[in-house]
Amino acid sequence: GAVVSQHPSWVICKSGTSVKIECRSLDFQATTMFWYRQFPKQSLMLMATSNEGSKATYEQGVEKDKFLINHASLTLSTLTVTSAHPEDSSFYICSAPSPGQGTDTQYFGPGTRLTVL
């Protein structure tokens, strides 16, 4: 199946700093990618839809000025958590629709564990 990678796999930062997370589709192009966050023992919550060449679409309740999304190419989307605080500590996961099979399924990255001290 298609491969989606994320970098870094984990990051620890100080409160007030910004952190950038990359999501790459390794062997296919993705005009759309999705960003989720997952708290321990909870389900995935969609944060935003990243659209190549245009602005991201944010879900209700997600601060777009805090979670900056840039989809600069057909294989790369980035999520920047600005002025991070301990409550932003979470597992961030991206996904991209599968290529060549319509868009019925999505492939997920391995996730990025963010810890804000």
Partner 1 sequence: QQQVKQSPQSLIVQKGGISIINCAYENTAFDYFPWYQQFPGKGPALLIAIRPDVSEKKEGRFTISFNKSAKQFSLHIMDSQPGDSATYFCAAIIKAAGNKLTFGGGTRVLVKP
Residues that bind partner 1 (CB under 8 A): 1, 4, 6, 32, 34, 41-44, 46, 49, 91, 93, 95, 97, 102-111, 113
81: its two tokens:
């958590």
In the complex, the smallest distance separating the C-beta of residue 111 from partner 1, rounded to whole angstroms, is 5
Helix (H, G, I), strand (E, B) or coil at 88: helix
Report the residue number, 87 or 104, with the smaller CB distance to partner 1: 104
Closer residue to partner 1 in complex, CB, 38/82: 38
Least distance between partner 1 and beta carbon 78 (Å): 17
| Beta strand ranges found along 8-75 (DSSP E) | 10-13, 19-25, 32-38, 44-51, 57-58, 67-73
What is the nearest approach in angstroms of partner 1 to the Cβ of residue 58? Answer: 12
The dihedral over CA atoms of 9, 101, 29, 63, expressed in degrees to the nearest 10, equals -60
